[in-house]
Structure 1
Amino acid sequence: MPNSSAAAALAGKKSSDGSKGKSFEAFKNILKYAKPHKLTFTAIFFCALLGISADLLQPYLVKIVIDDHLAKGNAQLGFIAMMAGIYLGISVISFVFTYVQNNLLQYAGQGIVAKIRKDLFHHISKLSMSYFDRVHRGSLVTNVSSDTETISQFFTQVLLSLIRDGMTLVLIVYFMFKLDTTLAWYSLIILPVIGLVAFMFRRYLREAYQVTRSRLSRLIGFIAENLSGMGLIQTFRQEEEQTRRFNEHNESYWEGNMREVRANVLFNRTFDILGNLALVLVVWLGGMAVFHKSMEVGVLYAFTSYIRQFFQPINQITMQWNTFQSTMVSMDRIWKILNTEPDVKDPLPDHKTVLKADEARGKVDFDHITFGYAPSKPVIPHLDLHLDAGEMVGIVGTTGAGKSTLISLLNRFYDVNRGSIRIDGIDIRDIPQQQLHRLVGLIQQEPYLFSGSVLDNVRLFQDSISRERVMEACRHVGVNDMIMRMPQSYDSLLSERGSGLSAGERQLISFARIMVFEPRILILDEATAHLDSQTEQLVQSALQTVSEGRTTLIIAHRLSTVMHADRILVMKDGRAVEEGTHDELIAMHGYYEQLYTHARQASEEE
């Protein structure tokens, strides 16, 4: 049996190697986004080469003027003017190519990041609901916004530094050896020290950035959560408590930021000291050589200029090290999302069955299903339920009975653990999700309205749906008059979630959506829970219109909502304990009668 500590060390090493391997894989896959821009990067390389070459020729020109003419007393005004003109021309060339290089790099870098951001958002929208149960929304907001911006910095800053400063370093070394081999070798002594310092700081910088990013995600998530629940916070006078909790998150993020800043400052200032030490060494050695007449003054001037420039690209590259580290973290996080497969997948081509909404009848069968968000803890231990086409079925029960879970399964937000759900005899796992969601229409307790016009909220931004069709749907559900009273009628802009509209008005607009898209199966999940009695009557009238000719499932706490259903299913602990019409269930004197009696008493007390 192996030694436990040795096994632990081996496991830790494998974990570390695995983490490095995943980071490298993420980096490699993100870089694939740069392939369509390879011609642009080629142009950037040549622009950088020409611009840097022109820039580095300037000290060499001054060296020629000093050593070959001024030091020898050959100070011809015409020659000096010509060299000054060449110097100016080289400066203009350097400016032009640097300008073109920067613009090309920004064009390519921003294009790459825009594509990453587009793919990331598209992929997130395709993930299963179980993924959003596990991952905090604030973290995803950070991924789409901040992490992609960090990758943008990689392509527009780090990559620029690698290209420009890398070539600058190579060319400076070439000119230094061309001027004086001995002095050049002395200058390069500092390089191993630079490598050692970079190695020492690498892990510390990466950990500091990871801590900062995770704390930022928590802060953003907390802010989003509080903005969504601001009404509840003010109702229960929780402003001070939530402010205290915000301050804790904010202070934690500040501490992480300060740790990262301290690491960066220490890292960069270390290189400044090394650069100054190298300059002092070159000036002392070069000065002694000039004093003993073994080196010309122009050579020392050019060498001093190059040694100053020599540490600039090194410093720039090392300054980008923390950006590169943060880029690796961001790439790893983004690739982890892009590499996540949805739990609910479309059927393979061999198993795919096409069922169009205009051809479906709407018969629904829950065949001996079992489901649990955690397989060991089933929410629905066993259910066998069959709905005829066009039938209206009410589903009632206390909180936690499994009503909403049943609806999530029919929408295929989750897949059943055992059994099957079939529409017109076809297993919904064999129907492409896009078609399934056209077959099944869902109206939730809190209808979601987007920022945009009333028209676009009804047709969900699908321009193929005409204005006339939208207006007709709104007339059918009784919301047209309300919309026409708005300043720009159907072109009136709504804010996020439709603030400014009553709960009933938002619900009626969601009913109009159903009329526009015409699903064969309609689900109302507590659609009247937050409505007053008068508004509920309007919504009930709209419901009769919307549900006509459709298989309809109504989940309700208010039993008045389902009393006129063709059939009522009573659920308890994930099981169907009673079933029948309202009168039949009352006559049973069972669980439904208890719910009904309790509801009447609560209504009378109000």
Structure 2
Amino acid sequence: MLGPKLLGDATNVVFNGVVGRMLPAGATKEQAVEGLRESGQGQVADMVSGMAVTPGEGIDFTALGRTLLTVLAVYLGAAVLLWLQGLILAHVVQRAGYRLRRDVQAKIDRLPLSHLDSKARGDTLSRVTNDIDNVTQTLQQTLSQVITSLLTVLGVLGMMFYLSWQLALIAVVTVPLSALLTMSIAKRSQPQFVAQWRSTGALGGQVEEAFTGHEVVTAFNSQDIFTSSFTEENERLYQASFKAQFISGTIMPSMGFVANLNYVLIAVVGGLRVASGALTLGEVQAFIQYSRQFTQPLAQLASMANLVQSGVASAERIFELMDADEESPDPEPAAGRDPDDLAPRGRVEFDGVSFSYTEAAPLIEDLSLVVEPGQTVAVVGPTGAGKTTLVNLIMRFYEIDGGRILLDGADTSAMTRADLREPIGMVLQDTWLFRGTIAENIAFGRDGATDEEVHEAARATSVERFVHSLPDGYDTVIDDEGGGVSAGEKQLITIARAFLSDPQILILDEATSSVDTRTELLVQQAMSTLRQGRTSFVIAHRLSTIRDADVILVMEHGQIVEQGDHASLLEADGAYARLYQAQFAAPMTAEA
């Protein structure tokens, strides 16, 4: 703000010296002005009367040098402060991004499984990565500029009124016009930015699906289908992005037109006032610079509208995730298990439990079941019967609609989720491995597990049988996509992870579906050893794996229609017998 005023003073020193040398030496300023009027140069006389000239004297280089050194010091100081501003801004914005990512991750941990199941993974991933990155980039590029521009506008406006309130009014008149143009354009471009980031999330979801299921897509020659859907979504993203950037991009040219109009008006009026002696040349020069400094921040603020709108659209998607309904809060620890109580025994009871994923389609109604400690319970039935739902309710992945689930006599809804899940080990049909060594993936089952404990779990689940054939043994790096191990071997690793956790309650959801017959026998032997003294829930479609179960539950439409051991259920010739015959008798008949 000080620079133009000081440079205007330097211009006055030079211009006063040039004009002063042209006037007769020894005369006073008033005499020189009177002489000009008498010679018919009245306009020049008016101009000289408004100047600080000494007739006969040239440029005061001492004053000029002092002024220029002051200007240099001012600009050096401004440069240092700008550097400091950049340092502070980078710290503030990156810390804000860090905390935002931390809060979103914590929010995801508190979301119910039903919310995550209902959203595309790629869209959620896009919110956590692309949208947060866009918000931080928007803050980085606009935050300091907004503050600097606002302060500059206020400071420059004060300096302009100090120099000439008439010219300042001309500059102020253009502000409402600029604001009107900016608001009108921004109103039209904001919906396009929202559509742009929505399409970005949808496109990310499609890419994630295509990459995850690449083998299946290739096997069914369905690349053209994915390419077609990708092209459609990509086209929507292109259209939304083009419209958003083009519409918001018209703000800058509009502001440039207003700024140039303001510049012309000030230059014309200022020139007339210099000629009349009301202002000095240096003051008009400074004012023209101030007019540029005044309109430039306004133009910068307007030009940032597209960045701000894009950031706001991403922020809306982030806050939509942050505002999603969370799991019901855990009760106080005292309301759950007594810390001084004995170790969990593994008795599970369903007491009139009802559950539905949607209110219009009840799945489980008034289910009652008691599983004694140490029993192995097999759950069978057709697809969609509610088998996996049953064990998900034990884990409180979903909240029940009615009734109670008791663990060793304690209502699970009165326990913290951590206390509930601590004594439970679970192996799913869909394996999940993180990028790391085989040993690290097994050790994931229990904090602080030693190498010997990891190796013991691997031996118990036949993992050691194939580990030694790998180049790096237990140090072989794998991930969920493979890494040199087959689907069955990955499933064995997840079983070893559950074994290592030494659970009191074991849940196996089709845990041997990807294991060959020989390995299945080895795993069954290991599981028989592991199940000693433990309550086990085994969900299986292959009935050969659950013949030795203490209790077999047959589910249909969310209800237990039969229960008993293998022999008694076959003798009853009911639903279980039909399933068994469909699985074994049909192939034998076909062979015959």
TM above 0.5:
yes
Cα deviation, residue 289, structure 1? 2.5
Asked whether 1:488 is paired with 2:433, we answer: no
Range moving further from structure 2, 393-402 or 129-138:
129-138
1:534 to 518, 539, 542: 518
2:9 to 64, 77, 83: 64
Aligned mates of 1:483, 1:579 — CA distance in 2? 40
* Secondary structure of 1:72's aligned partner: helix
Gaps of 5+ in 1: 1-55
- Where do 1:82-97 residues align within 5 Å? 82-97=66-81
Aligned mates of 1:207, 1:461 — CA distance in 2? 47
Aligned mates of 1:315, 1:357 — CA distance in 2? 70
**Which residue of structure 1 lines up, in the alignment, with residue 423 of structure 2?**
439
Q: RMSD in angstroms over aligned alpha carbons?
A: 2.2
* Secondary structure of 2:434's aligned partner: coil
**Which residue of structure 2 lines up, in the alignment, with residue 36 of structure 1?**
none
**Which residue of structure 1 lines up, in the alignment, with residue 397 of structure 2?**
413
Aligned mates of 2:533, 2:579 — CA distance in 1? 29
Runs of 4+ residues deviating >4 angstroms: 354-358, 601-606
Cα deviation, residue 390, structure 1? 0.8
1:564 to 528, 539, 548: 548
**Which residue of structure 1 lines up, in the alignment, with residue 287 of structure 2?**
303
1:250 to 203, 218, 234: 234
Aligned mates of 1:152, 1:356 — CA distance in 2? 48
Aligned mates of 1:245, 1:172 — CA distance in 2? 54
Shift of the 462–166 alpha-carbon distance from structure 1 to 2, 3 Å rule, reads farther
Gaps of 5+ in 2: 19-57
Cα deviation, residue 550, structure 1? 1.4
* AA matched with 2:5: Y
Residues matched between the structures, number: 551
* Secondary structure of 1:71's aligned partner: helix
Contact 2:491 2:511 in 1 (8 A): yes
2:245 to 250, 261, 274: 261
Aligned mates of 1:563, 1:59 — CA distance in 2? 92
* Secondary structure of 2:160's aligned partner: helix
1:179 to 158, 163, 184: 163
Aligned mates of 1:519, 1:503 — CA distance in 2? 24
Contact 1:504 1:536 in 2 (8 A): no
- Where do 1:187-586 residues align within 5 Å? 187-348=171-332, 351-354=335-338, 359-460=343-444, 464-586=448-570
Aligned mates of 2:341, 2:104 — CA distance in 1? 30
* Secondary structure of 2:17's aligned partner: coil
Aligned mates of 1:302, 1:462 — CA distance in 2? 73
Asked whether 1:108 is paired with 2:104, we answer: no
* AA matched with 1:100: L
Greater Rg over alpha carbons, structure: 2
Range moving further from structure 2, 537-546 or 127-136:
537-546
Range moving further from structure 2, 312-321 or 539-548:
539-548
Aligned mates of 1:492, 1:358 — CA distance in 2? 40
* AA matched with 1:59: P
Contact 1:568 1:580 in 2 (8 A): yes
Cα deviation, residue 78, structure 1? 4.0
Aligned mates of 2:340, 2:504 — CA distance in 1? 10
* Secondary structure of 2:344's aligned partner: coil
Shift of the 601–307 alpha-carbon distance from structure 1 to 2, 3 Å rule, reads farther
Aligned mates of 2:541, 2:551 — CA distance in 1? 16
Contact 1:129 1:413 in 2 (8 A): yes
Aligned mates of 1:599, 1:518 — CA distance in 2? 33
Shift of the 347–136 alpha-carbon distance from structure 1 to 2, 3 Å rule, reads same
Range moving further from structure 2, 134-143 or 344-353:
344-353
* AA matched with 1:324: V
Aligned mates of 2:310, 2:454 — CA distance in 1? 48
Cα deviation, residue 380, structure 1? 1.4
Shift of the 152–492 alpha-carbon distance from structure 1 to 2, 3 Å rule, reads same
* Secondary structure of 1:142's aligned partner: helix
Aligned mates of 2:124, 2:584 — CA distance in 1? 44
Aligned mates of 2:272, 2:445 — CA distance in 1? 77
* AA matched with 2:365: P
Aligned mates of 1:357, 1:97 — CA distance in 2? 63
Map Cα deviations across residues 419-470 of structure 1 (whole Å, 9 max, x no partner): 1111111111111101211122110012100112222212229763333322
Cα deviation, residue 163, structure 1? 1.4
Shift of the 68–181 alpha-carbon distance from structure 1 to 2, 3 Å rule, reads farther
Contact 1:438 1:517 in 2 (8 A): no
Aligned mates of 2:333, 2:581 — CA distance in 1? 52
Cα deviation, residue 392, structure 1? 0.7
**Which residue of structure 2 lines up, in the alignment, with residue 169 of structure 1?**
153
Cα deviation, residue 582, structure 1? 1.1
Aligned mates of 1:602, 1:538 — CA distance in 2? 27
Contact 1:474 1:509 in 2 (8 A): yes
Aligned mates of 1:590, 1:150 — CA distance in 2? 60
Shift of the 603–458 alpha-carbon distance from structure 1 to 2, 3 Å rule, reads farther
Asked whether 1:145 is paired with 2:145, we answer: no
Contact 2:442 2:496 in 1 (8 A): yes
Aligned mates of 2:585, 2:445 — CA distance in 1? 45
* Secondary structure of 2:422's aligned partner: helix
Cα deviation, residue 381, structure 1? 2.4
* AA matched with 1:304: I
Aligned mates of 2:275, 2:367 — CA distance in 1? 98
Cα deviation, residue 532, structure 1? 2.9
* Secondary structure of 1:398's aligned partner: coil
Shift of the 93–459 alpha-carbon distance from structure 1 to 2, 3 Å rule, reads same
Aligned mates of 2:301, 2:586 — CA distance in 1? 71
Shift of the 420–497 alpha-carbon distance from structure 1 to 2, 3 Å rule, reads farther
Cα deviation, residue 124, structure 1? 0.6
Contact 2:93 2:136 in 1 (8 A): yes
Cα deviation, residue 507, structure 1? 1.4
Map Cα deviations across residues 272-320 of structure 1 (whole Å, 9 max, x no partner): 1111111111122222323444332211211111111211111111222
Aligned mates of 2:448, 2:187 — CA distance in 1? 54
